Amino acid sequence: MDIFNNLFPGLYDWINALLHDWFKGAMPADVESVLVSAIMALIVAISAILFMVLMVLIMIWLERKNAARIQDRVGPNRVGPYGLLQPIADTIKMLIKEDIVPTNADKLVHLLAPLVAMAPAVLALAVVPFGKGMTPVDLNIGLLFMIAVGSIGVVGIFMAGYGSNNKYSLLGGMRGVAQVVSYEVPQVLTVVTVILLSGSMSLVKIVDAQGGWFGLQWNILALPVGLIAFVIFYICALAEVNRSPFDLIEGESEIVAGFFTEYSGMKWGLFYLAEYFNFFIVCMFGATLFLGGWQGPILPGWLWLIIKTYALVWLGMWIRMTLPRFRVDQLMKFAWKVLVPVALANLLLTSILIGVYNGIGF
Amino acid sequence: MTADQFLTNVVFFLLAAVALVGAIFAVTLKNLVRSALGLILSFMAVAGIYFVLEAEFIAIVQVLIYVGAISILILFAIMLTRALMSGAESSNNSQWIGAAAIAALLFGALGAIVLGTNWHAAQNALKGDLIVKLGTELVTTYVLPFEAVSLLLLAALIGAFVIARE
Amino acid sequence: MIPLQYFLLLGAAMFCLGLYGALARRNAIAILIGIELMLNAVNINLVAFWRYIKPANPAFELAGQVFALFVITLAAAEAGIGLALVIAIYRSRDTVNVEDVNLMKW
Amino acid sequence: MLDRYGLVGIFAVMALIFPVIPLLMAWVVRPKKPNKTKSTTYECGLAFEDFPEQAQNVWVQFRVQYYIFALLFVVFDIEVVFLYPWAVAYDSLGLFALVEMVAFLGILILALAYAWRKGLLEWV
């Protein structure tokens, strides 16, 4: 199993050595080392993005199949075996659709909005521990990096709403921002619980701390606080990426399609892609923070992370197919009157329990 | 200069240019939403500058608070006041030439002081886990300002509620 | 190593741009944007000094970073109150133009 | 600097480049046949120009609730920024750290309680 576990780090070392051999003597030593690390960084970034694109394509297919199963339909079954190539057909369709920009839109902001929505999703990949020795950058504050980068996305939602110059877009955009920021508060509060349990903000160290009991010492099992924290985190994650039942910013029966209304073609496709990217990433962080990340018995680490992430993704799909949409007042009330107090209480309980456990001055 | 240092310089100049261009957008554009977006661009570039200074915690806090929170506050306030539909009139007031002169003079003076001073500066070696140190110092050395921050936020929140409520 | 002066010059330039914005703009929110820029420039200086200049007392090793944190907090409180005032003025006088808000002017 | 954060920088550059690629691809292959009706603002299938002057202005007057929730969010965000280093260092600190943090949080819980009592958390 070590072969599979070390597959990607081994590949990295091999390419690194190859490049060093290649450039040796052709240039001064300092230029060479900078050039090689830049190329390696580029390779890491591109492979992370390609991995995500693949995962998202699978996820879109899975979502459509799942929805069909729950609603007693067949789902996509024409393109490829079991409709597996359906996401690719969707992509091609989006590529050849005309791009319509309303005449009185703020054209620059309208164009930049999907880019701003998409960019944080890619940037967040920089700190994910994909497996043993497979973290692109082990930042000391990786957890805070992930939260901060995630909070840039709301600017994209606002830009889309404002840039379209349309009532429904503006309303959807403003509601979206209000919703996302409201649910960010309990999320960031509940993540403090994880820091207290692991004693670090480095995602690598957080995963390492969950390695006991044959890789099953997960934060979610630190009862009762871990479980409460996980539930809050997951609810907030669904709301942050605007998944049902929190998808009322694009509620097509109320405000047409929210900030999507004036978007078409690939610009709309980018929003769609960003939504799935964000959902996958937030599930990946959920798996990293609460379900032990890549830790697990027998199977290689990166496979464990994928399995755990898909478990969370599937849970989200199930919830989406089962629950009706919230009303906007219920949504805000739920965030501020239920989640925030519970998160605060959970935080206090955790710090007291840890204090008792460590016997600090008690 | 080694390649590493050269590249660091390039990164710094790029970020500084973006920060200043964003700032210029923020203070000159007539459309207030665009001006706020320029401000956000400037904030992002400054976060990059903090990364160059290896103050990663401050860099991330910059993104989290300035980009993620304060700019949202500003954008909401703009949307609440219809401020950007000001039509044909100029976005500057009558004293803008004087303001530009004062700003230019101040920049000249500050630049002369910065370049004329011998700073005895050298990059400090970073050792140990800065976050742990920061967390410890917040509740020991800086405990008074730390609790004062909490009071300040409470006062700001209640004050703003009272002022803004319908 | 990038000289300290570069950071200080960047901070000075940003501060002056913010000052220009705060003095020259007509819209109250634009003035607040200028003030945010000025506070940001101060923060650049604080963090640069933290990185480049060693305090005589090692207990204040992190002073630059801690003060940058406090400045950020202050900026948020200032923006919160300031924008609330702007909204209140807009509601009662239907304008955010500082030249029209002269009730308290002597 | 680069050895620690170079990769973050590369990811940031890629984050800017990656979304541009599909847009460029679409720009190459897609049709472009704009007409006047197609590029009007969407208004539930009605012609936008036929609207009275007031309805053509898309500027909706938003309620102050939006601002109040944003303000609450800003305050709690800042509070959390101070919580994070404290939580990392918590293991090595004593009881006083817990007491100080409870005081810090307590003051902000007062703010939340105030907003709750005054009915500011209601979205009506």
Asked if pLDDT for residue A4 goes beyond 70, the answer is yes
Using left for φ > 0, alpha for ψ between -120 and 50, and beta otherwise, residue A265 falls in left
Of residues B123 and A112, more confidence is placed in A112
What is the DSSP secondary-structure string of B17-61?
HHHHHHHHHHHH-SSHHHHHHHHHHHHHHHHHHHHHTT-HHHHHH
Asked if pLDDT for residue A361 goes beyond 50, the answer is no
Q: Do chains C and B touch (3 or more CB pairs under 8 A)?
A: yes
Residue D89 touches partner C, C-beta closer than 8 Å: no
Task: Among C6, C7, C17, C94, pick the best mutation site for testing chain B contact (most B Cβ within 10 A).
Answer: C17
Residue A326 phi, psi (nearest 5)? -70, 160
Q: What does the pLDDT read at residue D46? A: 63
* 8 Å CB contact of A109 and B34: yes
Q: Do chains B and A touch (3 or more CB pairs under 8 A)?
A: yes
- For chain C, state the CA radius of gyration: 18
For residue B65, the chain D residues in CB contact (below 8 A) are: 74, 77-78, 81
Distances (CA, A) of D9 to A203, B47, B60, D1: 19, 12, 14, 11
Asked if pLDDT for residue B84 goes beyond 60, the answer is no
Q: What does the pLDDT read at residue A73? A: 87
For B89, residues 6+ apart whose C-beta sits below 8 A from its C-beta are none
pLDDT range class, residue B118, cuts 50, 70, 90 = confident
pLDDT range class, residue A296, cuts 50, 70, 90 = confident
Asked if pLDDT for residue D118 goes beyond 90, the answer is no
* 8 Å CB contact of B76 and D82: no
- Side-chain half-sphere CA neighbours of D43 within 13 A: 17
Average pLDDT estimate for B156-161: 89
Report the distance separating Cα B55 and Cα B43, nearest Å.
15
Q: List % helix, strand, coil for chain B (3-state, nearest 5).
A: 75, 0, 25
For residue A336, the chain D residues in CB contact (below 8 A) are: 69, 72, 112, 116, 121
Q: Of B95, B114, B120, which is closest to C23 when you measure between CB atoms?
A: B95
Asked if pLDDT for residue A208 goes beyond 50, the answer is yes
Q: Do chains A and C touch (3 or more CB pairs under 8 A)?
A: no
Residue B146 phi, psi (nearest 5)? -65, -45
Residue type, A303: L
CA distance C58 to chain B (A): 12
Answer whether CATH 1.20.120.1200 is correct for domain B1-113: yes
Q: What does the pLDDT read at residue A104? A: 77
Q: What does the pLDDT read at residue A263? A: 82
CA distance D89 to chain B (A): 5
Least confident of B71-75, C85-89, D1-5, D61-65: D1-5
Answer whether CATH 1.10.287.3510 is correct for domain C4-93: yes
Report the distance separating Cα A286 and Cα A305, nearest Å.
10
Residue type, B130: L
- The distance of Cα C99 from the centroid of its chain, to the nearest Å, equals 22
Asked if pLDDT for residue B75 goes beyond 70, the answer is yes
Report the distance separating Cα D77 and Cα D71, nearest Å.
10
Q: Which of A126, A116, C51 is nearest to D9 (CA)?
A: A126
Q: What does the pLDDT read at residue A9? A: 84
pLDDT range class, residue A320, cuts 50, 70, 90 = confident
pLDDT range class, residue B20, cuts 50, 70, 90 = very high
Q: Domain segments of chain C: what residues?
A: 4-93
pLDDT range class, residue D48, cuts 50, 70, 90 = low
Return residues 28-47 of A near B (CB < 8 Å): 28, 30-31, 33-35
Report the distance separating Cα A195 and Cα A202, nearest Å.
9
Taking CA–CA distances from D64, the nearest residue in chain C reads C87
Q: What does the pLDDT read at residue C53? A: 84
* 8 Å CB contact of A105 and D84: no
Share of chain B above pLDDT 70, in %: 94
Q: Of B7, B37, B131, which is closest to A141 when you measure between CB atoms?
A: B131
Q: What is the pLDDT along chain C (106 residues), one digit of tens a residue?
A: 788 889 999 999 999 999 999 988 888 888 999 999 999 999 999 999 888 888 878 778 888 889 999 999 999 999 999 999 888 888 887 777 777 777 666 5
What is the DSSP secondary-structure string of A91-129?
HHHHHTS-----TTS-HHHHHHHHHHHHHHHHHGGGG--
Asked if pLDDT for residue A353 goes beyond 60, the answer is yes
Q: Domain segments of chain A: what residues?
A: 1-96, 100-358
Average pLDDT estimate for A43-66: 90
Q: What does the pLDDT read at residue C104? A: 66
Asked if pLDDT for residue B79 goes beyond 60, the answer is yes
Taking CA–CA distances from C80, the nearest residue in chain B reads B160
Average pLDDT estimate for B7-34: 91
Least confident of A200-209, A326-335, D78-87: A326-335
Average pLDDT estimate for A108-116: 89
Q: What does the pLDDT read at residue B87? A: 58
Q: What does the pLDDT read at residue A362? A: 43
Asked if pLDDT for residue A29 goes beyond 90, the answer is no
Q: Which chains touch D (3 or more CB pairs under 8 A)?
A: A, B, C
Q: What does the pLDDT read at residue A281? A: 92
Share of chain A above pLDDT 90, in %: 20
Residue C97, SS3 per DSSP = strand
For residue B33, the chain A residues in CB contact (below 8 A) are: 106, 109, 162
Residue C25 bridge partners (DSSP):
B92
* 8 Å CB contact of B52 and D1: yes
Chain B / chain D CB contacts < 8 angstroms: 141
Average pLDDT estimate for A261-279: 86
* 8 Å CB contact of B161 and D108: no
Q: What does the pLDDT read at residue A98? A: 83
Asked if pLDDT for residue A111 goes beyond 80, the answer is yes
CA distance B57 to chain A (A): 7
Q: What does the pLDDT read at residue C73? A: 92
* 8 Å CB contact of D71 and B161: yes
* 8 Å CB contact of B4 and A109: no
Cβ atoms of D95 and B138 closer than 8 Å: no
What is the DSSP secondary-structure string of A286-340?
HHHHHS-TT--SSS-HHHHHHHHHHHHHHHHHHHHHHSPPPPHHHHHHIIIIIIH
CA distance D66 to chain C (A): 12
Cβ atoms of A241 and A311 closer than 8 Å: no
CA distance D72 to chain C (A): 10
For residue D67, the chain C residues in CB contact (below 8 A) are: 83-84, 87
Q: Which of B47, A323, B154 is nearest to C43 (CA)?
A: B47
Average pLDDT estimate for A230-249: 84
Average pLDDT estimate for A253-265: 72
Cβ atoms of A232 and A346 closer than 8 Å: yes
Share of chain D above pLDDT 90, in %: 6
Residue D75 touches partner C, C-beta closer than 8 Å: yes
Least confident of A90-104, B76-90, D64-78: B76-90
* 8 Å CB contact of A144 and B60: yes
Q: What does the pLDDT read at residue A249? A: 64
Q: What does the pLDDT read at residue C41? A: 94
Residue B71 touches partner A, C-beta closer than 8 Å: yes
Task: Among A96, A137, A273, pick the best mutation site for testing chain D contact (most D Cβ within 10 A).
Answer: A137
Average pLDDT estimate for A272-299: 88
Report the distance separating Cα D87 and Cα A144, nearest Å.
12
For residue C69, the chain D residues in CB contact (below 8 A) are: 81-82
